[in-house]
Amino acid sequence: LSSTQTAQLAEDSDFTIYDGGMNLVQALYLNNAVEPLNNVKVRQALCYAANRQEVLDMIADGKGTIIGSSMFPAFGKYYVPALSERYNQDIEKAKELLKEAGYPDGFELTITVPNNYQQHIDTAQVLVEQLKAIGVTAKIQQIEWDSWLSDVYADRKFQSTVVGVDASNMTARALLERFTSTADDNFINYNNAEYDQLFAQAVATYDDAAQTELYKQMEHNLTANAANVYIQDLADLVAVRQGLEGVVFYPIYVLDLSGIHYTA
């Protein structure tokens, strides 16, 4: 639903509005192998420069869920809510980090965005304005989806990009394995020995509690090292008419209609 449709239906007592979440990790994904983004202080500065609530307000009337790492809320036990508070906007802190990294006057940044996803274009536009406050001059490069897949995702020829990443299946491993140093789909070129070690431990254990804790440590690692500027799990608003039951949201962006029925 669009924000206009949502507002209209919210005023209709015959409907209840649910936000099932798109179950995507939307972020400003950073190529960790190119200058100056190969400097962790630069990446942290970008995180501190972003005002994620403002992004939600500007593109979806405040709807959506702010996130702080590569995990979204629908994954329950694996999700770490506290990480969304790790980089609350702090312009002075961001400027200081840039100065320490050797970029006191900022730098130029290209944000490559697939032109068939308006929500990512809109997010990039908000970020461009926010980054000006720390001296980072960002420009948006819109490209066709096929070009994004070949140039950005496969060939990793980019500085930064705004997209939403999901899980190929409903597992925490599917979201986190992609950032191991040898993963074919590690398009941000994240290379962290501790992260690799945590993943190796996670897949080697059959103890669910131990594995869950290891996956959480991997999320902390991504956040601490500012692998990306994590933004949100985008809103996916669904209007349900009163009297209908059986609506279930799953941690993938599909809706199972088989169990929906009218109450007697």
> Which pLDDT value is given to residue 183?
97
> Which pLDDT value is given to residue 9?
46
Q: What angle do CA 109, 110, 116 make, to 5 degrees?
A: 150
Residue with tokens 């070690």: 197
217 Cα distance to chain centroid = 18
Please list, in sequence order, all residues whose beta carbon lies within 8 angstroms of the beta carbon of residue 29, skipping any fewer than 6 positions away: 160, 161, 162, 163, 165, 187, 188, 228
Task: Evaluate the omega torsion of the peptide bond into residue 114 and state whether it is cis, within 30 degrees of 0.
Answer: no
> Which pLDDT value is given to residue 199?
98
**By C-alpha distance, which of 184, 198, 258 is closest to 250?**
258
Q: 3-state class of 198 per DSSP?
A: helix
Both tokens assigned to 61: 């009337």
* Alpha helices, DSSP H, located in the chain: 3-10, 40-49, 52-60, 91-101, 118-131, 145-147, 172-176, 193-204, 208-224
Please list, in sequence order, all residues whose beta carbon lies within 8 angstroms of the beta carbon of residue 26, skipping any fewer than 6 positions away: 119, 120, 123, 162, 163, 164, 231, 232, 233, 234
Residue with tokens 């956040």: 223
Maximum distance among all Cα pairs of the chain, rounded to whole angstroms: 68
Beta bridge partners of 140: 111
> Which pLDDT value is given to residue 204?
98
Sign of the torsion angle spanned by Cα atoms 198, 87, 24, 110: negative
Mean pLDDT per block of 10 residues along the chain (264 residues) reads 48 56 86 98 98 94 93 93 97 98 98 96 98 98 98 98 88 95 97 98 97 98 98 74 68 66 72
Q: Quote the pTM value.
A: 0.86
> Which pLDDT value is given to residue 259?
74
